[in-house]
Amino acid sequence: MILVLKRCIAALTCILLMSAAQAQELAENLYTDYKEVLYQIKIIDKESSQKSTIGSGFLINATGLAVTNYHVVSDYILSPDKNHIEVEDISGNKSLASLVSFDVVNDLALIQIELSTASEIFLPIAESLPTQGTTIYSLGNPHDLGMIVVPGTYNGLKKHSFYQKIHFTGSVNSGMSGGPVINESGHVIGVNVASAGNQLGFLVPLSKLKALVQHDSIIQTSDYKKVIAEQLTENQSELIKQLSTNEWPSTRLGMANVPDAMSEFISCWGDSNVDNQDAQFLSVRKSCSLDQTIYVSNRIQTGHVGTQFQWFSSDKLDRNRFYQLIDQRMNMHQQDFAHKQDFSEYECQLDTIKNKHDVQSKSALCVKSYKEFAGLFDIVYVSATIDQDRASLISQLNINGITQASFEKLVPRFIDAVSWQ
Amino acid sequence: MAIVVQTLSRSKTILAQQLVQSSSAVIGRGFYSDIRIDDPYVCDQHLSIAVDDDKRIWIADKGSLNGMKVNGKSINQASVGPEDVITIGQSHFRVFVASQAIAPTKKLNPLDTSLESISKKRYFAILMSLFIGFALLEGYFNTFTELEYSILLSNVLSGLIALCIAPLFIGLLSILNKKEAHFITQFNLVLIGMLAISIIGYFAHFINFNLNSPTVISLLETLIFWLMLSLGFWLMLYVAFHQSNGKRALITASFVAFIVCIQLLPTLFNDRDYVELPPIDASIMNPSALITSSSSTQAFMSDAQGLFDSASDNDQN
């Protein structure tokens, strides 16, 4: 019996080793088969003739149409007069490329490489996503070292996310951005979107890539910023529509009822100072946010939606001191790295509000506009209730890249979502 | 006929004054001179002074080694008045007849009487206690951990030391100018100013809590602060030195302009200056202090329309 078991184990180990070896072999084959279609993409600053960004890209047809990430070519898109796109194949042959179109929300861009002769091989786009658990291969050009292949596992689409992403276990480094992810038959199923130091990679999925390729229109250089604004506006309108048409679950925080995660793609965290024996007041915090932002430029990340509720109560501080504490806490803000070139300064209004549940609060609303992308705004809404004896709820809503129309849909709902128990 | 001789410093302030009950006199280093000047560059009998029938004063060099100057010009004989500065050796003086007309006597003004009344020590004690009380209260309101009275007190005391700088400095300057220091009055003025600024601060907080217009209120608060600063500094100068009104106004204006510049310069002429954070000043305080009514969510939202317009407008800057 034991002998049989031993044999079985030996056989199993053998199979496992063989499959690992097979995967290794396949990766090597893929590398030799497809290295011709991989390009290193550089954005070259015309003035200094030096590269400002580097990433990967790959051919998807014989005439030189290639896919990369929006963030790889964003320097060119935002300042087309200052930069140009240069591509380099695996043998080091350099050529120029022009921008065809892009999708800022899903971090994709299509470029046209100037080929001297039509390429014999290119990466076709897969018909459908593979089954979960299948081995897939991420190809790219990490840290300017040359092309590499990273095998990993396809783990399905990321759950509870507004932005669809493939969940890939394998390490995707920053220079691999824009490289293809292919299945075993060499068809593209996604594009690398790397953030440095990630052991878990997220990839732009097939559907977004297909949509961009099928759209088949060239964006004019003068329209780049207008198109970015349009894409951002369309995306956030959809986001706010989903957020504001949902029924918001309610949860208890201190004596208040506050909205819980406003949608399944919003995730929440919480903490409190209950364990601090010396604290003169109780502070309980619940914060929720969308798990992802949209990269627009190295100075602008947008698309953030976040809420924060902080409950304060005290039986040690007197009323004057307690509300002095609330005053101080309400005026505290997270660091903001906005730049003068990109945004106006915040314009604020302050008022005392009684919402539809008769919750009275001191509320401030601040709005700043995007200088390059007309019609988009960042908003901050902060309020502190002032109708309890020595207890107060500070609510905060931050939305980046919102239109006035969406603001008018979402914010009153947020204000009216707070009630006393 | 009496003659007045005023010995002057180089900056024309009076060092000494002598009255000679005669219509002529001799100035020199000799002990028999009518006016003796102990200056090694002055001769035994250096110059003579005489009053003529028209009550004009004539001075004449009595053949001295170093000569004499009137208003910086070398001269042997001259008729001089109360405005002329005579120099012999390294000494300066004025000579005029004692019957010279003087400026009419000023009436004590109400300001002098009120300043006199705040110079009392008991007011100082009261103001000082009030100030310490206020500072302690402010420390208490802004501490959200367990209160440590020793730390609170030491903070207040170090604040007091900082507060002493201005009255001590001005008092010392007035002693150097051979005037009375009026330390108590100076301290009382500073304390009244500080208390007034604190009270105005609390009041502004209260107004903002009710009216929700932080920009206007903080602007008003700053203007009031500058006004108080001018007034306080003017009064301190008034107490310390007997300057002319014009000079005092000039010194006060330069001092306040200097402070205003320190406050404004970092933002006023700096184009790159950009405030990233939302400038929220909710001025929340004990809700019992709320006497105005609240808006509805709808009213708040319709007010917000304007924010979008002004944010879009100012993105041109």
User: A380 pLDDT band (50/70/90 cuts)?
Assistant: very high
Nearest to B307 among A281, A323, A349 (CB): A349
Residues of B in contact with A344 (CB under 8 A): 311-312, 314-315, 317
pLDDT value at A172 more than 80: no
User: A243 pLDDT band (50/70/90 cuts)?
Assistant: confident
Query: pLDDT digit string (tens) for A119-162?
Result: 778 888 888 888 888 888 888 876 566 777 888 888 777 777 78
CA distance A181 to A140: 9
- Closest-CA distance, B282 to chain A, in angstroms, reads 7
- To test the contact with chain B by mutation, choose from A368, A372, A418 the residue with the greatest count of B C-beta atoms within 10 A, namely A368
A287: tokens are 């914060």
For B301-312, letters b (16+ CB in 10 Å) and e give beebeebbeebb
Share of chain B above pLDDT 70, in %: 98
Nearest to B290 among A331, A352, A363 (CB): A352
Residues of A in contact with B303 (CB under 8 A): 349, 351
H-run or E-run covering B186 = helix B183-211
H-run or E-run covering A23 = helix A2-34
Residues of A in contact with B280 (CB under 8 A): 330-331, 333, 348, 350, 364, 366, 380, 382
Amino acid at A105: V
Give me the residues of B, 192-211, that contact A with CB < 8 A: 209
Q: What would you measure as the largest C-alpha separation in chain B, in angstroms?
A: 99
Residues of A in contact with B292 (CB under 8 A): 352
pLDDT for res A197: 43
User: B15 pLDDT band (50/70/90 cuts)?
Assistant: confident
Query: pLDDT digit string (tens) for B162-219?
Result: 888 989 999 898 888 878 888 899 999 999 999 999 999 999 999 999 988 888 888 9
Closest CA to A359 of A326, A409, A393, A320: A393
Nearest to B279 among A339, A346, A370 (CB): A346
pTM of the full structure: 0.80
pLDDT for res B105: 83
Query: pLDDT digit string (tens) for A179-225?
Result: 888 888 888 888 887 553 445 567 777 888 888 888 778 888 888 89
pLDDT for res A196: 39
pLDDT for res B48: 92
CA distance A50 to A25: 37
CA torsion angle B100 B104 B105 B107 (round to 10) = -170
The verdict on a CB contact (< 8 Å) between B282 and A344 is: no
Contact status of B276 with chain A (Cβ, < 8 Å): yes
Q: How far is CA A259 from CA A90, A245, A253, A268, in A?
A: 53, 14, 10, 11
C-alpha Rg value of chain A to the nearest Å: 26
Query: pLDDT digit string (tens) for A250-303?
Result: 999 999 999 988 888 888 999 999 888 888 899 999 999 987 888 898 888 898
pLDDT value at A174 more than 80: no
Closest CA to A54 of A64, A62, A44: A44
Nearest-5° angle of CA A35, CA A37, CA A41?
A: 100
Amino acid at B87: T
CA distance B203 to B212: 13
